[in-house]
Chain A
Amino acid sequence: DGGITQSPKYLFRKEGQNVTLSCEQNLNHDAMYWYRQDPGQGLRLIYYSQIVNDFQKGDIAEGYSVSREKKESFPLTVTSAQKNPTAFYLCASSMGRIHQETQYFGPGTRLLVL
């Protein structure tokens, strides 16, 4: 079945630690996205990538980094510079060619701080 997988489902971060969230898709989509979800705030865009080896900052990129070395993969690193990382993180993908197309979402990773 085609879809988006995110791992792990839950992730715990210690003070000063970098952690990486995985996102993989087998939909053959060009574009991939990372969103952060906090209660009552909707989803906010962290980073997006329209093509391999290229990505752009979204609205809240500070304290995060990404890479796009393969079409299928778009990992997100939450760095120690992100002072309030506790949130639900959602990865999405879309075909990437026209702007009214649908974004498809993964099941999410919940990040908690120890």
Chain B
Amino acid sequence: AQSVTQLGSHVSVSEGALVLLRCNYSSSVPPYLFWYVQYPNQGLQLLLKYTTGATLVKGINGFEAEFKKSETSFHLTKPSAHMSDAAEYFCAVSDLGTGGTSYGKLTFGQGTILTVHP
């Protein structure tokens, strides 16, 4: 079974500082990996995703993530935090459904709340 672990339920940074949100996964097959962002009382918005190819993936709002197979990690980074980055971030992994169907079930991590201080 797939699983996702996000290290740190809360991360606090100063405006302009590096943002690093950690995600580790377990998967028996090559994974497809996603980062979503959620602002309070809203739905989830896709930040970026890794499927195949280049292991460094760039997303919206200046975020990027690197797929490291040897470390089973997909950490999210942003060089300089902005106040508007304050939100909850979810890492997710997609796998094949039962019976070999192409259903892409998403398994989510527990989420990391990012706080940005002025």
Residues of A with Cβ closer than 8 Å to B? 4, 6, 31, 40-45, 48, 50, 58, 88, 90, 92, 94, 96-108, 110
Contacts and interface: CB of A to CB of B under 8 A. Distances in A.
A31 B105 CA distance: 11
Contacts of B106: 43, 45, 103
A100 B43 contact: no
Contacts of B41: 88, 108, 110
Given A107-B43, A110-B41, A98 B105 contact: no
A15 B54 CA distance: 52
Contacts of B44: 43, 90, 92, 105
Contacts of A104: 46
13 contacts: A31-B104, A42-B4, A42-B110, A44-B108, A45-B106, A99-B102, A100-B49, A102-B34, A102-B49, A105-B45, A107-B42, A107-B43, A108-B41
CB-CB nearest 4 A-B residue pairs: A99-B104, A105-B43, A42-B108, A100-B32
Nearest to A31: B103
Interface string B1-13: 0001000010000
Contact of A50 (B90, B95, B103): B103
Contacts of B32: 99-100
Contacts of A105: 36, 43-45
Contacts of A94: 104
Given A42-B90, A90-B44, A108-B41, A100 B104 contact: yes
A99 B94 contact: yes
Given A43-B108, A88-B41, 11 more contacts: A31-B104, A45-B106, A90-B43, A90-B44, A94-B104, A99-B94, A99-B102, A100-B104, A102-B34, A108-B41, A108-B43
Contacts of A6: 43
Nearest to A88: B41
The residue among B94, B105, B106, B109 with the most chain A CB atoms within 10 A of its own CB is: B106
Nearest to A50: B103
B96 A102 contact: no
